[in-house]
A and B are shown apart, each in its own frame.
Chain A
Amino acid sequence: ETGVTQTPRHLVMGMTNKKSLKCEQHLGHNAMYWYKQSAKKPLELMFVYNFKEQTENNSVPSRFSPECPNSSHLFLHLHTLQPEDSALYLCASSRTSNTGELFFGEGSRLTVL
């Protein structure tokens, strides 16, 4: 079983749809992250959760709504997205947000039509 599991791996949605990305980690970590990886751009940090509390929102539009019900699960709720939001969304975890070594999931490839 991999340490960080993301579902779905691929998602196609229209601009008016509502969908969610799910991330689960089995490493006993307390910090979880969402990153966005677009073509030709560096990985961009979106959100950080430490012990279920959001500690960073990197100026992410409100059409992305994260949820962290416990230290093992992280969701990214998607609503009214734009085509430019198409990207690979990577979840990661670390022991705490001060530990820094991130373990990544395999990502959810999102296409917005």
Chain B
Amino acid sequence: ELKVEQNPLFLSMQEGKNYTIYCNYSTTSDRLYWYRQDPGKSLESLFVLLSNGAVKQEGRLMASLDTKARLSTLHITAAVHDLSATYFCAVAKVGDGGSQGNLIFGKGTKLSVKP
């Protein structure tokens, strides 16, 4: 059974600091996603990581994937208040005959950036 664990679940950061959110998953998969959710809002896709060693960056966020370690990281550089949200990683289940679109989500990391 595919399990996805994120840590930390809560993260209080000061503006300008750097930090990393970790996402571990338990079985083989060929794609990993990072989503952002603001309170009362939908999930917004941030990154799709498809291969070992993949690294993607958007603004102050950078995501990477190590499929051998079954680990993805979301690194936050010089945090600003606008980054306050809950961040989810999600891993695609791999079924017979190839990938499936069904995603297993982590519990989410609630990030709060304070001045």
Q: Which residues of A contact B (CB under 8 A)?
A: 4, 31, 33, 40-43, 45, 48, 50, 56, 90, 92, 94, 96-107
Q: Which residues of B are found within 8 Å of A90, using beta-carbon distances?
A: 42-43
Whole-angstrom distance between the Cβ of A51 and the nearest chain B Cβ: 12
Residue B105 at the A interface, CB < 8 A? yes
B105 and A102 contacting across the interface, CB-CB below 8 Å? no
Q: Which residues of B contact A (CB under 8 A)?
A: 4, 31, 33, 35, 41-45, 48, 88, 90, 92, 98-108
Q: Which residues of A are found within 8 Å of B35, using beta-carbon distances?
A: 104
A105 and B100 contacting across the interface, CB-CB below 8 Å? no
**Bound Cα distance A79, B42 (Å):** 25
Out of B45, B102, B108, name the residue touching A101 (CB < 8 Å): B45
A106 and B102 contacting across the interface, CB-CB below 8 Å? no
5 more contacts with CB within 8 A, not counting A94-B101, A97-B101, are A40-B107, A97-B102, A101-B33, A102-B101, A107-B42
B43 and A104 contacting across the interface, CB-CB below 8 Å? yes
- The SS class assigned to the B binding surface is strand
**Bound Cα distance A101, B100 (Å):** 11
**Bound Cα distance A97, B99 (Å):** 9
A96 and B106 contacting across the interface, CB-CB below 8 Å? no
A43 and B102 contacting across the interface, CB-CB below 8 Å? no
**Bound Cα distance A4, B48 (Å):** 19
Q: Which residues of A are found within 8 Å of B100, using beta-carbon distances?
A: 97-98, 100
Whole-angstrom distance between the Cβ of A72 and the nearest chain B Cβ: 17
B42 and A100 contacting across the interface, CB-CB below 8 Å? no
B42 and A48 contacting across the interface, CB-CB below 8 Å? no
B45 and A102 contacting across the interface, CB-CB below 8 Å? yes
Q: Which residues of A are found within 8 Å of B103, using beta-carbon distances?
A: 45, 100, 102
In this complex, the member of A41, A43, A92, A98 whose beta carbon has the largest number of chain B beta carbons within 10 angstroms is: A43
Q: Which residues of B are found within 8 Å of A99, using beta-carbon distances?
A: 101
**Bound Cα distance A99, B31 (Å):** 10
Out of B98, B102, B108, name the residue touching A42 (CB < 8 Å): B108
A48 and B102 contacting across the interface, CB-CB below 8 Å? yes
